[in-house]
Amino acid sequence: QLSEDVERVSEHRTDERGGEMEVHEDASSVVSPDSELGTTAPSLRFSKTCLKNVFSVILLFIYLLLMAVAVFLVYQTISDFREKLKHPVMSVSYKEVSLYDAPGIAFYPGKAQLLSCKHHYYDHIPPLINPGQPGDIDCTTQSINYTDPFTNQTMKYALVVQGPRDVKKKELVFLQFHLNGTDQDFSAIDYLLFSSFQEFINSPEKAEFLKSCEGSYSSWKFSGGFRTWVRMSLVKTKEEDGSETVEFKQETSVVNYIDQRVKRRGDQLFFVVFEWKDPFIQTVQDIITANPWNMIALLCGIFLALFKAADFAKLSVKWMIKIRKRHLKRRSQVMNHIS
């Protein structure tokens, strides 16, 4: 009996010591997180995480803004390209030459008669010796009869004269016509300019050639009783299909001729001078300023920036998710340790 009492007392003391040890262990487990982590560490970690999240959101909004700007630029670039395709720009260039291809001058004198025709140089026209009388005809001329291209019934008579060629020597052609008697109140002679006299000479159908020229080019007039200067300039226009058309621009000046002859009523003299205005041939063509390669390069740059921005946004989102998971993991670890 005495031995049994001793064993009971020892077990009771053992239980008391175990309970005290458990209490000490629980107390140490409660106190140890505070001693290890401290009181300010969770708040600092939370503030850093919050700042990182806010910064990531700001970067995401910046990406969205850049993407919107890039989409607008793509739309604007394509719209400008289509607009420039519809409205080409006219380009004018000048080519200096020393010799022109001699133009053809088609006169429609009617009842008037060609009295003289001469080539002069350096703008020097000598005084007329016998005005109104037949003189020298030193020009290359050819007479053509053809039907009117607009009526196809009326026959027309044209006198074709070779125009000036040497621009450096200031070559000009001076012609004198005479009209004896007219039933009109005003007397004038029509003329037509076309680009190449040699092309007219080489043409097998000269009548058809002149008929086509009259249908394509404008005609002008010079009046009787005056000396008319015609200063020509050549304009070449390149069409969209690659063809080239030639036309003349001209400046005219008129000087009154004082006729001192004893003449009959209705007797008229016509004087006309043809010369080149300058040695420059004007070339006009339509140019599309929209360059497809520039547009492609711009679009490639915009799309490359978009891809880079998208990659940056993707990394930012991944980083935000990673930071969030790390924060939740630490929080769960602390809660588990406290519990």
For residue range 209-233, list pLDDT tens digits in order: 999 998 888 899 999 889 999 999 9
* The model's pTM: 0.65
Q: From the CB of residue 210, how many other CB atoms can be counted at a distance below 10 Å?
A: 23
**Count of residues in the chain:** 339
Nearest to 108 by CA among 186, 181, 195, 193: 193
Q: Within the chain, what is the greatest distance between any pair of CA atoms?
A: 185
pLDDT recorded at residue 41? 54
Q: From the CB of residue 224, how many other CB atoms can be counted at a distance below 10 Å?
A: 21
pLDDT tens for 249-294 read 999 999 988 888 777 667 889 999 999 999 999 998 888 777 777 7
pLDDT tens for 141-198 read 999 999 988 887 789 999 999 999 999 899 999 999 999 876 777 889 999 999 899 9
User: Measured at the alpha carbon of residue 249, what is the angle toward residues 106 and 143, in degrees to the nearest 5?
Assistant: 5
**Domain boundaries in the chain?**
50-86, 95-286
Torsion of CA 144, 150, 154, 159, to 10 degrees: -20
Instruction: Report which of residues 295 and 223 the model is more confident about.
Output: 223
Q: Exposed (0-12), middle (13-18) or buried (19+): which is 86, by Cβ within 10 Å? A: exposed
Domain covering 95-286 assigned CATH 2.60.470 in the classification = yes
pLDDT tens for 17-32 read 444 444 344 434 444 4
Q: Give CA–CA dist 198/196, Å, rounded.
A: 5
Q: Which two tokens stand for residue 173?
A: 């052609």
